[in-house]
Structure 1
Amino acid sequence: MLTIIDKYILKRYLATFSVMILLFIPIGIVIDVSEKVNKMLENKVPFTAIAVYYYDFTVYFANSLFPIFLFLSVIWFTSKLANNTEVIAILSSGISFTRFLRPYIMGASIVSVFVLLMGFFIVPSASEGFNNFRYTYLKGNGKAEMLGNNTNVYRQINDNDFIFVNSFNEESKTAFNFTLEHFEGEKLTYKITASRIKWDPKKKIYILYDYNKRTLGELNDKIEKDPEKKMAFKFELSDLTPVVYIAETLPLGKLIDFIDKERKRGSGNINIYLVVLYKKYSVPVSAFILTIIAVAVSSMKRRGGMGMNLAIGIAIAFSFVFFDKIFGTLAEKSTFSPFLAVWFPNIVFGILAVYLLRNAKR
């Protein structure tokens, strides 16, 4: 059962966190507008598109900087409690430091569940709108950058079929130097090649130009040629080169299915997708770790007052974000384990939280 102190601290926890977000998001929007207004005017972006973009920006921005907002808000109101000697009064009444932490952990639980659900269902949609707007209106070579590397793509599309294309054009839905190899076990049974393969969205078929099919036989190979051949395959050309941020735009269930499909295809971007998946779980956990660190740092009076606590808090918060970004990028660009990269900041700062908590109890 919640006591008056529990309700008081929990209310301050949630209220300060909410106010912190409401204060910083307008500042972020103003800075973003000042940086992009010229591009928007130059490209004659519709007002409705801008309005939707800034809704997506708000969700995306709040989710990205959630650890900093949470950490600073806890530092802020706990420092005020300490400066007003309220923490000393609470602990002097016989309440242990662990018991004092209970409303903070409850607050962290509420925030982490909220962030977890947002990451599963709301953030992916906002991320898609945010990135689509940037690549459509704000980047000089937006479409090309959005598609990432679309040359020399080799993919396994199912247990038996492998596809290779030399290059792919998203706008025309056309791939060049197309090859499909079909295996039965470890034996190649037939191979299809074409100088071009184009997707016809109306008829839902593919058009192969300079079509050539070689079927391997025990004694003789069977060769079939056609200047233009219409065929149906169980894949889309756009699947060959998914947009660089596609993992961020998928809800949890679809993201897991997408990763399974890409893993079977031997995708070279699998680490990028795994980092996105693991962060959906690691970010909410960071709420507990940062809350404990913030309370341990700010629950005692310091000679520098609240300013000193905030300075320490800002240094720790930005160190956490720095670790998170560095190891996330390391996993995406190398063979470093995505799971370890995503959870490493939580492990390091979790150890720091235990150390600071033990000292705070003394």
Structure 2
Amino acid sequence: MSALLKLLRTMLWPVITIALGIGLSLWIVPQELASVNEQITVFPESDIRGHMLRPYLLVLLFFLPAIAAVLYRFADTLDRYLSKQFFNAFALVFISLLSVWLLMDFQNHQSEFRDSGQPLEYARRFYTSQMPAVIVLILPYALMLSLLLALGRLSRGREIVAMIQTGRGIFRITLPLLVVGTMCSLVCLIFNYHLAPLASGYKDAILDEATQRKASRARSVLYPNVADNREWYVGFFPYDFDKGLPLENILVTTFEANGGAPVLRMSAESAHWDRETRLWEFRGTNFVDLSSRPVPTKLEAPDPFYTDWRESPWQIIKPGLKEENMGIPDLNSWLKENEGLEWADTLPYLTQWHYRWSQPVICLVIIMLATPLGVVFTRRGLGGGVAVAVMLCAGMLFSSTFFLTFGESGAMPPILAAWFTNILFTFVAVYLFRRRITGRPIYQSIKKLLPGGD
């Protein structure tokens, strides 16, 4: 009986996390599937395979705690002890950072929530929708601080030295932390795939709605349709244009074949696209014959005006979408739609596409950077290691944004701009690990390189 109770106790967390993963999957994944089907039905030119992957990534996200619990269950005593120390520190640091962010952000937006007349409801919607983006933002900082806190405690208590005396090397001791970094990278990757960019774009829409302004997905969008000799200008895209809300302030100019002179211009107050019939309905229309000589002539205009132009709202809005608010499926669709077009500046979008994949790796690189600096064998070296770790991690997080501008401007290839920070600091991390494993000082060596160092 005692053996059975012990087994049940050790398997308690794996069973709970597996049940939690199943429950979340049954609750949220059907909603995500419905959203994907809606996207594909309304806009069949979207990246179908990319969007179809979204529900599977959510299932993986919901079962990551179960995977972690199983790994913890079958780890040995020292690995479980180190993991427990890290998770205790991580929970404290993550909750603290999240609380600070929530308080600061709420202070910035409390006036919008108050003006809505339903402050609690809009605050709930706003912060629930922002969680994926917030987690991606603060997770690297939380990893760095919690790792330094946990390893600092173990180093001060000489527990790291005791672990080494069992015959384990530094790399083997910190292997559970590298596993944690890998899993955190997976979390960021799943959020970066679609949810985090979507949350960033949804932020302004909720605030506009709270203050009784029209929520927009894009404004002042110019879309040249070279194949059909038309150029669209849309003044206002409602946020839920994909649910049938009309576009506003429309100007469509028709040109002669092969990029000739403009021949007809239509202005309209609104435009509605029927996803069933794929027909456009324009209201408040005015037509001007630009080919008329000596001056353009106003034509009689049917109102409403119907046409079977093949452009869809999703195609028209693409030039107005901000690349930082687009997930991987939307970036795939944008890049495919605008491939080879001279007027389309693809560099920012291609850079962001590569950054969606490279940014999550920051979590793993930060673990590799902070670990050798958090593990010290003397009390004197602890503060210096922490200072160097904070400096390097802050520099890494800054440079990851800094090099993106080079990729977006064309000064660097987009793939190199997105991955350069990870590559650079991985070499730094390997160097630091090597010095720590061989027992050579780190902080003192770096101090000698600084002006005034002994």
Tell me if structure 2 keeps the 8 A contact 1:286–1:346. Answer: yes
Deviations 1:10-36 (A, max 9, x none): 333344333321121111111112222
Amino acid at match of 1:205: W
Query: 1:239: Cα distance to partner?
Result: 4.4
Residue 108 of structure 2 corresponds to residue 35 of structure 1: yes
- In structure 2, the CA distance between the partners of 1:252 and 1:361, relative to structure 1 (3 Å rule), is same
Tell me if structure 2 keeps the 8 A contact 1:60–1:130. Answer: no
Residue 425 of structure 2 corresponds to residue 349 of structure 1: yes
Give the TM-score normalised by the residue count of structure 2. Answer: 0.64
Cα distance in 2 between the residues matched to 1:294 and 1:7: 20
Residue 265 of structure 2 corresponds to residue 194 of structure 1: yes
The secondary structure found in structure 2 opposite 1:228 is coil
Amino acid at match of 2:157: N
Aligned to 1:120: 193
Query: 1:53: Cα distance to partner?
Result: 0.6
Amino acid at match of 1:296: P
- In structure 2, the CA distance between the partners of 1:135 and 1:255, relative to structure 1 (3 Å rule), is farther
Match of 2:174 among 101, 122, 125: 101
Tell me if structure 1 keeps the 8 A contact 2:136–2:196. Answer: yes
The secondary structure found in structure 2 opposite 1:263 is coil
Query: 1:191: Cα distance to partner?
Result: 7.0
- In structure 2, the CA distance between the partners of 1:169 and 1:252, relative to structure 1 (3 Å rule), is closer
Cα distance in 2 between the residues matched to 1:248 and 1:19: 30
Deviations 1:302-323 (A, max 9, x none): 5556544433332222211211
Deviations 1:42-78 (A, max 9, x none): 4546431211112233332221122111112111111
Query: 1:135: Cα distance to partner?
Result: 5.3
Aligned to 1:313: 389
Residue 286 of structure 2 corresponds to residue 209 of structure 1: yes
Match of 2:249 among 159, 164, 174: 174
Cα distance in 1 between the residues matched to 2:324 and 2:433: 35
Aligned to 1:110: 183
Structure with greater strand percent: 1
Match of 1:70 among 143, 165, 168: 143
Give the TM-score normalised by the residue count of structure 1. Answer: 0.79
Alignment of structure 1 residues 107-186 onto 2, 5 Å: 107-134=180-207, 147=218, 150=220, 153-156=222-225, 160-165=227-232, 168-170=235-237, 173-176=248-251, 178-181=252-255
Cα distance in 1 between the residues matched to 2:369 and 2:215: 43
Cα distance in 2 between the residues matched to 1:269 and 1:18: 43
Query: 1:334: Cα distance to partner?
Result: 5.0
Cα distance in 1 between the residues matched to 2:413 and 2:207: 30
Cα distance in 2 between the residues matched to 1:322 and 1:155: 37
Aligned to 2:159: 86
- In structure 2, the CA distance between the partners of 1:74 and 1:245, relative to structure 1 (3 Å rule), is farther
Residue 67 of structure 2 corresponds to residue 5 of structure 1: no
Query: 1:355: Cα distance to partner?
Result: 1.1
Query: 1:279: Cα distance to partner?
Result: 2.5
Amino acid at match of 1:155: P
Q: Which runs of 5+ in 1 are unaligned?
A: 215-224
% identical aligned pairs: 16
